[in-house]
Amino acid sequence: MNHALLFAGGVGARMKSADIPKQFIEVDGKPIIIRTLEKFSSHPEIDDIVISCLAEKIDYLWGLIRKFNLVQKVKSIVPGGSNGHGSIHNGLVEIQKFSTESDIVLICDGVRPLISKELISNCIKTAKEHSTAVPVTPSIDSVLESPDGQTCRKSLPRKEMFITQAPQGYTMQKIMWAHDEAEKRGIDNPVSSSELLIELGESVHIFIGDRDNIKVTTPEDLEYLRSRYYYRHFKHFAGEVLKYD
């Protein structure tokens, strides 16, 4: 079986939206988390979905899921943790209750509403073949290393640099082993699941993702997302005008 784990426990500090967590900001009439959820819910290879959410927003999220008719695949919503790693862990523990070690879990933040059906399919396929699957895009910028954030003495080879995306796919056996090891070793705040595995000495299998699959983190990301939906409506309107001109 293929499970999706969406984590939406953040408060949107970088979005500067203190009044509402970024995942609940509406874009073209729907909250971002709902737009992300729709992509997984409509995918034929996804069997069920678990969401890790801010505890105080669980009832609110269930209301949104019912409003937008997405109840069918959502198995449960669990409280998030103190950070992203904790939120993912809580979701994995829930999925473990009804999964086997060979099942695939796709782990994705809840603010990737432009994710494509093809990317989800590729992630499942790659995880089944390699037990790990991390979508990446090649870096188009030069990368400098600076431990202090002020001076730099090392330029990293751009052709070897990749930007990680989500969802990241794993067998349940692989990712639960990583979380168990993290607890044993006192690793409590890795940036992502792939970085956790790398910190544990493992390698992860990468595949080319989609540059349009942005994580909505900053106000600039939100403006880009809104412009995409505005452009979609504009194209539809223009098409109608041309059709009846």
Residues 6+ apart with CB under 8 A from 152: 144, 145, 146
Q: Report pLDDT digits (tens) over 23-72.
A: 999 999 999 999 999 999 999 999 999 999 999 999 999 999 999 999 99
Residue 144 lies inside a defined structural domain of this protein: no
Task: Locate 122 and state its tokens.
Answer: 């590729």
Residue 141 lies inside a defined structural domain of this protein: no
How many helices and strands (H and E) does the chain possess? 7, 12
Residue 150 lies inside a defined structural domain of this protein: no
CA Rg value for the chain: 19
Residue 151 lies inside a defined structural domain of this protein: no
The number of domains in the chain is: 1
| Helix, strand, or coil (residue 44) | coil
Cross-strand partners of 156: 143
| Helix, strand, or coil (residue 60) | helix
Q: Report pLDDT digits (tens) over 11-37.
A: 655 555 557 889 999 999 999 999 999
Question: Tell me, what CATH number does 34's domain have?
Answer: 3.90.550.10
- Ramachandran sector of residue 16 (left: φ over 0; alpha: ψ -120 to 50; beta: rest): left
**Residue in 198, 167, 191, 3 with CA at minimum distance from that of residue 91:** 3
Residue 11 lies inside a defined structural domain of this protein: yes
- The pTM is what? 0.90
Query: What is the average pLDDT across 174-193?
Result: 95
Residue 202 lies inside a defined structural domain of this protein: yes
Q: What is the C-alpha separation between 66 and 64, in angstroms, rounded?
A: 5
Task: Locate 163 and state its tokens.
Answer: 């930007």
Residue 125 lies inside a defined structural domain of this protein: yes
Residue 27 lies inside a defined structural domain of this protein: yes
Amino acid 20: pLDDT: 82
Residue whose tokens read 């970088």: 14
| Helix, strand, or coil (residue 114) | coil
Domain of residue 204 covers 2-136+165-243
Mean pLDDT for the chain?
91
Task: State the burial class of residue 51 (Cβ atoms within 10 Å of its Cβ: 0-12, 13-18, 19+).
Answer: buried
Query: What is the average pLDDT across 116-129?
Result: 98
CB 73 within 8 A of CB 46: yes
Beta strands in 17-157 (DSSP E): 26-27, 30-31, 48-53, 74-79, 104-109, 132-138, 143-145, 154-156
